[in-house]
Structure 1
């Protein structure tokens, strides 16, 4: 089966990818980019982690694990990148537990417009969860930049701890200090 024939890009012809701009440090960002440099928590050659500009409910600070290179959807991810995203999502969930002490975590990912994808760069959401947070019944809302900066710093410090505990270098953590 030719899997490439099953997927067509939904990105506009001259798409300025907000996540690529963030990962590449392409400042100034395009006019439609809601990201700011302090949203970036971690970056290596395969994956990056950022604080989302949108929140749900009363608990701000969910993260997204993305490929550092541009891939639009799950369908076009190389296996090595997909595996790196899975490993990093576990590390981010552990960092959330250390930073914010949620009662649980959830992950979710969307592909194509009918799948509720809004940014044409693969991203896996990692949410801190609390009893009765009604995450899946909440409308999105914009998270202020200063809140995102603080959350990125908190998550980055906790992620550095997770990486160190696993015997790995924390040099790729880029989140600003709190």
Structure 2
């Protein structure tokens, strides 16, 4: 029942794992260089793709997105990698964002359950998703970023541009709890 946190070398990747541990969610932080077989051997019920400084340093993360049919949550760079893997467009943000931001939750099912209609989050990014892939829908936006969060319409694949793992996102733990519920539900249905 473990969720693997894929370390994409971002400043908050260890914080993601720590946040899950505080919530008593079984987790392991692993490097993004593990092979598909090494990830499979760990038998995760979900993956969280952490942030990082660049797509070039994302290791095998895009392969994980394409290969695994388990719930996936991408945070910051992980969010952008999901968009890229499915054919969306990422580019430099019009406004680099390193601040508290209020997001508008437009779909509060699953990942944002209990959090609508607005949520204060910590934003720390210079790139963003400019257009979502086919088969995805926007879950949240803000005045700084049109795609703060999205979801695949048929799969349990989610992306969030902001950082739920830091204390500047007061209700970030709810997102992790909701993702864990998605993972457990999926695991019980398979």
Q: Same fold (TM over 0.5)?
A: no
Q: Larger RCO: Structure 1 or Structure 2 (Cα < 8 Å, ≥ 6 residues apart)?
A: 1
* Larger helix fraction of residues: 1
Scaled by the length of structure 1, the TM-score of the pair is 0.33
Q: Greater Rg, structure 1 or structure 2? A: 1
